Amino acid sequence: MISLSGMRMVVAGGGAVGSAVALAVRRAGAEVVLADPARLGENASGVAAGMLAPAFEAALDPVSAGHFGIYRQARDRWPSFAASLGRGDLLNRCGAMWAQADSDGVADMGARLEALGGAVEMVLPEEAARRAPGLAAPAGAVFTDEDWRLDPSAVLGAMRQALHREGGTVRAARLTGFTPGRVVLSDGAVEADALVIATGLAPAGWPDPPAELQWLSPIKGQILRAGGSPPLTGPVVRGPGIYVVPDAGGPWIGATMQAGLDDCAIDTEVSARLQDAAAALFPGLAQAPATALAGVRATTPDGLPLVGESSRPGVFLALGARRNGWLLAPTLALAVVEALGGRQVAAYLSSRRFDPTWIRAG
Ligand SMILES: Cc1cc2nc3c(=O)[nH]c(=O)nc-3n(C[C@H](O)[C@H](O)[C@H](O)COP(=O)(O)OP(=O)(O)OC[C@H]3O[C@@H](n4cnc5c(N)ncnc54)[C@H](O)[C@@H]3O)c2cc1C
């Protein structure tokens, strides 16, 4: 167990990643200030569907193709992390199911999931409709229990409460500057031994970030929340170009991957396309009232985040988690504590891995 006792840290960014990092740093004994000018959930973390999806992410996202093992390990950190919040109930081991009208497509997805080495079950059409109430009878379906889900708003709230309870400080302020020993926030300076940047993309309003942040680029995601219509429970259901995530408050329907866009404007044509695709799976969703939301993910060239000390001494990174910030949050928090404690971060996460000099040295 690494001790950061006696150290003073500032974590900039209060999304899934920054919240988990602040908590982990505090639990390792450091004094911590979590700074974010936004209200809780007003970020990518707050509009995410909350899937912890090692299997389907590796099967569907080309950039994640080789990451199943990393993602599964990250998922397995969630039960103890959720329990440490006193909210093990926030984790739903619901599994995920691919359903499609084309049986060749179903067979292909079954083969892709099987190739990962995870648990896969071919499901007959009647059984698929039983497991996912409201599902249009598909030609077939394939289910995996590798993928889980959490409720992002509830978990953000639980992390914030835990941080308050355990002695962390939260400031509604923006990071604007850093010199060794001193972090400048929009509401005043803080003496600190280290700064952790957990702002998703490069921090807004900081003119001079570390060079590693050049490797980040935005991917806008638009998503719908359908009020009251099924499915309210059951597995996540995926089909070509769409997912439907059951939720007691109404399912989440998502999501676009709009590389290069960093705005949160709602495009009504995009919303209509998402709703049509969801209705192909669940016909009842065609007319369901739906609210559109958008957020901006950050990605690196290899789809994994930047973690650990940057080229600027005293500045640590935990950002760029692409489509898997929720999945990876407890893992990144642990890696940051290790880096702050002087240990080396795994090469596949290292914030320096795109620097050719560092790779040669490593
Ligand atoms: C539509 C959509 C669906 C998604 N679904 C999933 C999913 O199912 N599962 C999953 O694992 N991931 C999902 N993701 C991805 C996930 O949401 C992100 O990877 C994750 O939210 C990143 O968390 P973060 O804490 O790094 O960044 P964010 O949540 O973006 O938080 C960054 C915070 O930094 C703050 N900030 C910015 N500049 C400063 C500054 N100068 N000073 C202080 N604070 C600052 C911002 O105000 C913000 O609150 C989805 C994303 C989208 C958009």
SS (H, E, C) 9-56: EEEECCCHHHHHHHHHHHHCCCEEEEECCCCCCCCHHHHCCCEECHHH
Check if the beta carbon of residue 97 is closer than 8 Å to that of residue 127.
Answer: no
Residue of 23, 43, 64, 224 to test ligand 1 pocket, by largest number of atoms within 8 Å of CB = 43
Cα dist from 239 to 127, 143, 279, whole Å: 17, 12, 11
pLDDT at residue number 205: 87
In the chain, the percentage of residues whose pLDDT exceeds 70 is 99
Residue 222 confidence (pLDDT) above 90: yes
In the chain, the percentage of residues whose pLDDT exceeds 90 is 92
How many beta carbons lie within 10 A of that of residue 248, not counting itself? Answer: 8
Mean of all residue pLDDT scores within the chain = 95
Closest residue (by CA) to atom 51 of ligand 1? 48
C-beta of 200 in contact with ligand 1 (< 6 A): yes
Per DSSP, the three-state class of 142 is strand
- Distance from the CA of 325 to the center of ligand 1, in angstroms? 7
- In the predicted model, what is the mean pLDDT of residues 206-224? 95
- Distance from the CA of 159 to the center of ligand 1, in angstroms? 15
Confidence of residue 310 (pLDDT cuts 50, 70, 90): very high
C-beta of 142 in contact with ligand 1 (< 6 A): no
Query: What pTM was computed for the model?
Result: 0.97
Please state, in angstroms and rounded to a whole number, the distance separating the CA atoms of residues 132 and 65: 27
Q: Which numbered atom of ligand 1 lies nearest the CA of 19?
A: 25
* Total residue length of the chain: 362
Confidence of residue 359 (pLDDT cuts 50, 70, 90): low
Confidence of residue 360 (pLDDT cuts 50, 70, 90): very low
Residue 308 confidence (pLDDT) above 90: yes
- Distance from the CA of 297 to the center of ligand 1, in angstroms? 6
Compute the chain's Rg from CA coordinates. Answer: 20
Maximum Cα interatomic distance, the chain, rounded to a whole number of Å: 63
- In the predicted model, what is the mean pLDDT of residues 139-150? 95
Q: Which numbered atom of ligand 1 lies nearest the CA of 53?
A: 9
Please state, in angstroms and rounded to a whole number, the distance separating the CA atoms of residues 279 and 276: 5
Q: What is the Cα 225 distance to its own chain's centre?
A: 18
pLDDT at residue number 357: 78
Closest residue (by CA) to atom 18 of ligand 1? 325
Convert the pLDDT of each residue in 75-98 to its tens digit.
999 999 999 999 889 999 999 999
- In the predicted model, what is the mean pLDDT of residues 236-261? 96
- Distance from the CA of 146 to the center of ligand 1, in angstroms? 23
pLDDT at residue number 362: 45
Confidence of residue 338 (pLDDT cuts 50, 70, 90): very high
- Distance from the CA of 81 to the center of ligand 1, in angstroms? 19
pLDDT at residue number 237: 98
- In the predicted model, what is the mean pLDDT of residues 38-59? 98
Closest residue (by CA) to atom 5 of ligand 1? 48
Residue of 19, 39, 45, 349 to test ligand 1 pocket, by largest number of atoms within 8 Å of CB = 45
Residue 303 confidence (pLDDT) above 50: yes
pLDDT at residue number 355: 87
- In the predicted model, what is the mean pLDDT of residues 260-289? 96
Q: Which numbered atom of ligand 1 lies nearest the CA of 186?
A: 42
